[in-house]
Amino acid sequence: MQIRTLERYPPPIRVVIPGQVYRRDPFDASHSPVFEQIEGLAVDAGITFIDFKATLATFARKFFSADTRVRFRPSFFPFTEPSAEMDAQCQICKGAGCPTCKQTGWMEILGSGMVHPAVLENCGVDSEQYTGFAWGMGPERIAMTRHGIPDIRLLFESDVRFLEQFAAGGGEGGAAR
Amino acid sequence: MIVSRRWLEALLGRTLDARATAEQLTMHVAAVDAVLPLHQDLGDIVIARVLEVKRHPNADRLTLCLVDAGGAGGTGGPVEVVCGAPNVQAGKLYPYAPVGAVLPGGVKLERKTIRGVESNGMLCSAKELGLGQDHAGILELDTAAAPGTRFVDAVPVADHQIVIDVPASRPDLLCHKGVARELAAVLGGVVKLPEIPIGPSDRRTVGPTHRPTVRQPDRSVVDGVEVRLEDPEGCPRYMAAVIRGVRVGESPPWLAGRLSAVGQRPINNIVDATNYVLFELNQPLHAFDLAKLRGPAVVIRRARPQEKIVTLDGVERTLTPDMTAICDAARPTIVAGVMGSAESEVTPATTDLVLECAYFQPTRIRRTRRALELSSESSYRFERGIDLLGMPDALRRAIELIGAVAGGELRAPPLDLWPQPVQEKTIFLRPERVSQLLGVPTERAELERLLTSVGFFVAPKDGRLAVQVPGWRPDVLREVDLIEEVARLKGYDAFPDELGPYRIGTVPDAPVEQAKARVRQQLVRAGFYEARTIPLGPPDGPDAVAIRNPMSAEEAHLRRRLIPGLVRRVEHNWANRRRDIRLFEVGTVFRTTPQAPEEWDAVAGVLTGARRPPHWSEGAKVPDMDIWDLKHHFELAVNVAAPGCVLQPATGGAGGWVAVQPGGEVVGEARALEADAPVWAAPLFGFEVRLLVTVPEPARYRPLPTQPPVERDVALLLPAGVNAAAVSAVLARTAGPLLARLDVFDEYRGAGVPAGHRSVAWHCTFRDPSRTLREREVDELLARALQALEDELGVRRREG
């Protein structure tokens, strides 16, 4: 989707793209054969590693809480360079270490990096003039982190007892309660 | 990749804290998955000297030892210990577990009386301490430590395994030297290969290891063994050494210990030496028995069709010409880079070795490994690309190590077949490009320092830096790869993360996502919860799309419709004794067509149970939803998901409605549903409609009415087969634009209504926006409409 966007639209580009994806993984507590993926891409003249970090860290602070600590650490993805994974402070133990975060105090939130110049070049974008960053994240994992949901299968059971826990402010209009 | 903390310490010449090391690696190099302590459970064991060994008074095979444990054991002085080991000797040092000590596995040692004599603790075997399989006798220690010293302080067994999640791009991290190099860059210091300990029982020194190797293009002879490189594509470089007169045996404890610490089972001194070099330098090596080679020759060639080899694991494998094989004059002895044959394996009887040190082409190894479903520590490394330029150093290290642990003689310098030698590649780095990408100015000196710290060779050239890439970094191909090195070595955390200004993008919002959002909002407002179902299942129609690689037969097709999945979810909720359920889903459905499979988005809802939440003031049960509630929700859903469509009663007699596009195409349906329902469940209804992506027009303001309405209620007798919608249509058409509004407000069957008929009542609102209507005018309009109803539908006004 990022490639298609780059091929169709000129910079500046700032997109977020959700979509359902499939993987040949049987269901267990942390895997589902079908899940959602949210990708993002920003390309413009003058985008730097600082903008990249700032944007995603701001997301984490807005999504979790303003005092949430985040960290970026090296990783490898073929389409980004430098590549990074972003961790947020574990929402269960607030960084103290617990079984959910395997005692690390951190939860892996997304994979990301500066768009590899070869990607830009292959899409006809001048990689000397333009730079950018991209990321991908799994909302199921993040929701589980945020709400303390222990098993990904709960997200696919559509159990009303589960769904109504997240209906605050919505779903008030009918009898399905 | 498992690395041993102690091994890293040996390379760095300093001590490391395992947790802090893991943190540094995670933040600068690669994620650490786990830090596992090794043998930390030996904290209660102390060094003890046996002072005196006596026969046990009541048992032939037991001895009674007087043990000096430096005060450990309780009494302050020597203690008496009953021992069953045949190798116990006075004057020697052994590991001793005092009473109360917890042994590996968690057993707490009690004071015991053995055959009438009280034993104060236990002298331990290697097996009892989890340090090996040896249980024939107690573990004799060669240490200068005083009795009473903690065993883990005197004997170097306590360690940590640091489990690194090495990305495919970083083969250099698959060995201790590579990890140590990164740590040296982060912590400061240099990496130096530890000296190989030469034990007292060792052995002849090996021959001319310091002599340069003999470089040849593709064939030569080393110490009487002919080596031919016939597949330079699969094997760009092949080095071989012949070592004669080795003594195969057990590895010394330091070597066995290093391998055990990274989870490898020691096998014999030769295999262990090659494995040691693999884990130290990331160079897989293969030693094979010269006596078993026919020729004797070493030929590196493509395998022949149907060529067979029995690999070390005892399985016969059939090779193909896509694979490289190391062969003697007759047949393959090694599947190159993957595994050797059982036949050419080093055994206790081996005296003369061929030691192979090769570079195999990564994709060739990957295909071979996949085709044979056979992987090894070697194939894992060759696949990722080893250091082509570091091979001579690795071979030299292996020869030295074999010399130290197994003796033997190197009569001729190793051979190096390298038809097309290559050099380090050079990449130019522009300091201003580093700043452009990373957003902070970086001094040229700092760039040099950072890159040099992990082995790049940097020289200024025309305002740029000419950076020579070491052979162990096949991942570094262009300038941006060097910029990543700079960023991670500085530390990503060292960069600020303050949000700056930015330009809004050129990409418009996707209409389909906006349409989905409108649908979700509408249905949530109507009291539905959003369900998520799995789009995989059994075929739900003849044109269901089959999956090529399904997880199971029950999940071998993509769904054609959303409703069946939602019905399963309702049943799940019924199973949890939920009676009032409203679920919807916005999702993709799929159909095969004569061309390619098609997919589109659809919206579906299911509803069952009470029409609304009960209110305490009412007492009576709230009525259940019926087919008219279904119609209501279907209308709302169609209005937002497929604007412009109209509802029509479904044909076919089963009841329900369909949504029809202006062109006549049916894009949705709503009806009562069959399900596996408990007896207490209310009727279940469902609707599904294709999501039509439209951009809604903004609502237009119409002037508020200023004229008063004229209202009339009419009760009509509808014969069977005439529905209210048809009546409304005739009324609206014949009364014209002055009929501003038309609502059904009652239905009645029973006394006063002819058989086969029903009475339906309408509330009609007439209004002219520009003037006040007269009563008579309205009565005339209504009379005309009623006449039309009677003529067209046989519907009359109900009298009385």
What CATH number is associated with residue A143?
A: 3.30.930.10
Q: How far is B532 from chain A (nearest CA, A)?
A: 5
Q: Is B579 on the interface with A (CB under 8 A)?
A: no
Three-class SS of residue B538? coil
Q: Which residues of B touch A48 (CB under 8 A)?
A: 436-439
Band (B621; pLDDT cuts 50, 70, 90): confident
Which CATH architecture group holds B214-417? 3-Layer(bba) Sandwich (3.50)
Q: How far is A51 from chain B (nearest CA, A)?
A: 6
What ipTM does the predicted assembly reach?
0.92
CB contact under 8 A, A12 and B530: no
If you classify domain B710-797 with CATH, what class do you get? Answer: alpha beta
Using CA atoms in the order B509, B510, B515, B520, what is the torsion angle rounded to 10 degrees?
-80
Three state DSSP letters for B730-795: HHHHHHHHHEEEEEEEEEECCCCCCCCEEEEEEEEEECCCCCCCCHHHHHHHHHHHHHHHHHHHCC
Q: What is the mean pLDDT of residues B534-548?
A: 90
CA distance B140 to B154: 13
CB contact under 8 A, B609 and A13: no
Nearest to A50 among B478, B496, B528 (CB): B496
Q: Which of the residues A158, A161, A163 would you substitute to probe the B interface, choosing the one with the greatest number of B C-beta atoms within 10 Å?
A: A158
CA distance B669 to B659: 6
Judge whether B753 and B795 are in contact, CB under 8 Å.
Answer: no
Q: Which residues of A touch B587 (CB under 8 A)?
A: 20
Nearest to B524 among A10, A156, A170 (CB): A170
Expressed in angstroms, the distance from the first to the final Cα of chain A is 38
CA distance B749 to B761: 12
Beta-bridged to residue A85, according to DSSP, are A73, A111
Q: With 60 as the cut, is the pLDDT of residue A174 above it?
A: no
Q: With 80 as the cut, is the pLDDT of residue A100 above it?
A: no
Q: With 70 as the cut, is the pLDDT of residue B200 above it?
A: no
Q: Which residues of B touch A34 (CB under 8 A)?
A: 534-536
Beta-bridged to residue B285, according to DSSP, are B357
Q: What is the mean pLDDT of residues B109-138?
A: 83
Instruction: Give Cβ neighbours of residue A94 (< 8 Å, ≥ 6 apart).
Output: none
Q: Which residues of A touch B437 (CB under 8 A)?
A: 48-49, 114, 131
Report the pLDDT value the prediction gives residue A173, as an integer from 0 to 100: 41
Q: Is B490 on the interface with A (CB under 8 A)?
A: no
Would you say residue A88 lies in a domain? yes
Nearest CA in chain A to B532: A156
DSSP-derived letter for residue B485 is: H
Q: What is the mean pLDDT of residues B201-211?
A: 52
Report the pLDDT value the prediction gives residue A162, as an integer from 0 to 100: 95
User: Residue B556: how many CB atoms within 10 A of its CB?
Assistant: 18
CA distance B388 to B179: 18
CA distance B523 to B582: 9
Band (B100; pLDDT cuts 50, 70, 90): confident
Task: Extract the tokens encoding B797.
Answer: 């006004």
Q: Domain range holding A16? A: 2-152
Report the pLDDT value the prediction gives residue B739, as an integer from 0 to 100: 94
Beta strands in chain A (DSSP E): 13-22, 34-45, 70-74, 80-89, 106-115, 130-137
CA distance B472 to B387: 4
Instruction: Give Cβ neighbours of residue B594 (< 8 Å, ≥ 6 apart).
Output: none
B511-690 against B710-797: fold identical: no
- Determine what percent of chain B is predicted with pLDDT higher than 70: 98
Half-sphere exposure of B750 (CA within 13 A, CB side): 2
Greater model confidence, B137 or B301:
B301
CB contact under 8 A, A83 and B496: no
**B residues 108-137 lying closer than 8 A (beta carbon) to A:** none
CA distance B422 to A129: 34
Q: Which residues of A touch B29 (CB under 8 A)?
A: 74
Q: Which of the residues B503, B522, B570, B576 would you substitute to probe the A interface, choosing the one with the greatest number of A C-beta atoms within 10 Å?
A: B503
- Please say whether the structural domain B2-39+159-187 has been given the CATH code 3.30.56.10: yes
Q: With 90 as the cut, is the pLDDT of residue B29 above it?
A: yes
Would you say residue A61 lies in a domain? yes
Nearest CA in chain A to B496: A50
In order of B64, B305, B525, B605, the CA distances from A175 in angstroms are: 83, 71, 11, 14
Q: Which residues of A touch B492 (CB under 8 A)?
A: 53, 71-74, 82, 84
CA distance B394 to B357: 8
CB contact under 8 A, A24 and B30: no
Nearest to B534 among A33, A74, A84 (CB): A33
| Range name among A12-26, B17-31, B163-177, B209-223 with the lowest pLDDT average | B209-223
Report the pLDDT value the prediction gives residue A170, as an integer from 0 to 100: 41
Band (B423; pLDDT cuts 50, 70, 90): very high
pLDDT in tens, B211-233: 667 888 888 999 999 999 999 99
Nearest CA in chain B to A166: B529
CA distance B661 to B50: 98
Q: Is B526 on the interface with A (CB under 8 A)?
A: yes
Report the pLDDT value the prediction gives residue A175, as an integer from 0 to 100: 42
Domain boundaries, chain B: 2-39+159-187, 40-154, 214-417, 426-493, 511-690, 710-797
Q: With 50 as the cut, is the pLDDT of residue A158 above it?
A: yes
User: Average pLDDT, whole number, for chain A?
Assistant: 89
Instruction: Give Cβ neighbours of residue B542 (< 8 Å, ≥ 6 apart).
Output: none
CA distance B265 to B377: 13
- Please say whether the structural domain B40-154 has been given the CATH code 2.40.50.140: yes
Strand bridging mode B225-229 / B297-302: parallel
Judge whether A139 and B577 are in contact, CB under 8 Å.
Answer: no
CA distance B460 to B155: 49
CA distance A49 to B440: 9
Q: What are phi and psi of B247, to 5 degrees?
A: -115, 110
Query: What share of residues in chain A are helix, strand, coil (percent, to 5)?
Result: 25, 30, 40
Report the pLDDT value the prediction gives residue B387, as an integer from 0 to 100: 96
Q: Which residues of B touch A172 (CB under 8 A)?
A: 527
- Determine what percent of chain B is predicted with pLDDT higher than 90: 69
CB contact under 8 A, B439 and A164: no
Q: With 80 as the cut, is the pLDDT of residue A59 above it?
A: yes
Nearest to A49 among B437, B504, B573 (CB): B437
pLDDT in tens, B401-415: 999 999 999 999 999
Q: Which amino acid is at A135?
A: W
Nearest CA in chain B to A85: B31
Report the pLDDT value the prediction gives residue B377, as an integer from 0 to 100: 93
Report the pLDDT value the prediction gives residue B785, as an integer from 0 to 100: 94
Q: What is the mean pLDDT of residues B744-760?
A: 91
Among left, alpha and beta (phi > 0; psi -120 to 50; other), residue B428 is: beta
Q: How long a stretch of residues is chain B?
A: 800
Domain B511-690: CATH superfamily, name plus number: Bira Bifunctional Protein; Domain 2 (3.30.930.10)
Q: Is B583 on the interface with A (CB under 8 A)?
A: yes
Task: Extract the tokens encoding B447.
Answer: 């760039």
CA distance B689 to B699: 23
Report the pLDDT value the prediction gives residue A177, as an integer from 0 to 100: 40
Q: Which residues of B touch A1 (CB under 8 A)?
A: none
pLDDT in tens, B551-607: 888 889 999 999 999 999 999 999 999 999 999 999 999 999 998 999 999 999 999
Task: Extract the tokens encoding B16.
Answer: 């490391």
Band (B210; pLDDT cuts 50, 70, 90): low
Report the pLDDT value the prediction gives residue B691, as an integer from 0 to 100: 96
Classify domain B426-493 by CATH number: 3.30.56.10
- For every residue of B49-97, DSSP letters joined together read EEEEEEE-TT-SS-EEEEEE-TTTTTTSS-EEEEE--TT--TT-EEEEE
Judge whether B333 and B324 are in contact, CB under 8 Å.
Answer: no
- Rg of chain A, C-alpha, whole Å: 18
Report the pLDDT value the prediction gives residue A172, as an integer from 0 to 100: 42
Give buried/exposed letters for B219-229 (b at 16+ CB in 10 A, else e). Answer: ebebbebbbbb
Would you say residue A163 lies in a domain? no
Q: Which residues of B touch A53 (CB under 8 A)?
A: 492, 495-497
Q: How far is A145 from chain B (nearest CA, A)?
A: 19
Q: With 90 as the cut, is the pLDDT of residue B25 above it?
A: yes
Omega before B705 cis (within 30°)? no
CB contact under 8 A, A26 and B578: no
Band (B343; pLDDT cuts 50, 70, 90): confident
Q: Which residue has the tokens 């070099």?
A: B277
Report the pLDDT value the prediction gives residue B208, as an integer from 0 to 100: 54
Q: Which residues of B touch A49 (CB under 8 A)?
A: 437-439, 487, 495
User: Average pLDDT, whole number, for chain B?
Assistant: 91
CA distance B418 to B420: 6
Omega before A82 cis (within 30°)? yes
Half-sphere exposure of B31 (CA within 13 A, CB side): 19
CB contact under 8 A, A85 and B439: no
CB contact under 8 A, B505 and A82: no
Greater model confidence, B217 or B747:
B747
Query: Domains in chain A: how many in total?
Result: 1
pLDDT in tens, B255-278: 999 999 999 999 999 999 999 999
Report the pLDDT value the prediction gives residue B136, as an integer from 0 to 100: 78
